[in-house]
Amino acid sequence: MTKILFDHLDESIKLELNLAKLYTVLNDLFPDDEDFWWQLSMEERGHAALLQQEKKQPQPLPFFPENLLADDLPALIAANTRILGLIEQYAQQAPSRKEAFQTALELELAAGEAHFQDFLDTPSLSPSVTIFKQLNQDDRDHAERIREYMRENGMA
């Protein structure tokens, strides 16, 4: 695995884990929405675990799904920095419920997460892509699910 690919993969794993941490914080802050936040948190942890597994595989580079990771490493780093800042900020002062959902939606539409969704929506061109997508089939469309939850709960 090349250093560039390794760096992208490492930062993508951090992104998934940081989102899981943020959603866990929101789970604790908003008891009315705790099931929703908990589900998203667990799904993000699952995404991270799958990426970590890819990192450990001794597969040759062509086996690795080439469009799995976002191309923009600085955007991934910036997203991680932002999420860590939000975790600290929310520990000091909780956001409003609506702000929490709007922020989560923005993050899901950001570089790494939007790219992950795009990857899941593209045709499978290799066995590794097919397997990865099957493992993620129920853990997708976070942005759309957040929008729907906001609509159903009067926050849209």
**Rg of the chain in Å (alpha carbons):** 16
> Which range (88-97, 124-133, 146-155) has the least confidence?
124-133
* Paired tokens of 113: 């997460």
Nearest to residue 105, comparing CAs of 151, 147, 49? 147
How does pLDDT run across 80-102, given as a tens digit for each residue?
Answer: 999 999 999 999 999 999 999 99
- Please determine, for residue 139, whether its predicted confidence score (pLDDT) is greater than 50: no
- Residue 135 pLDDT class (50, 70, 90 cuts): low
What is this structure's pTM? Answer: 0.81
- Please state the domain extents for the chain: 3-152
Of 86 and 48, which is predicted with more confidence? 86
**CATH label, 3-152, candidates 1.20.1260, 1.10.3210, 1.10.260, 1.25.40:** 1.20.1260
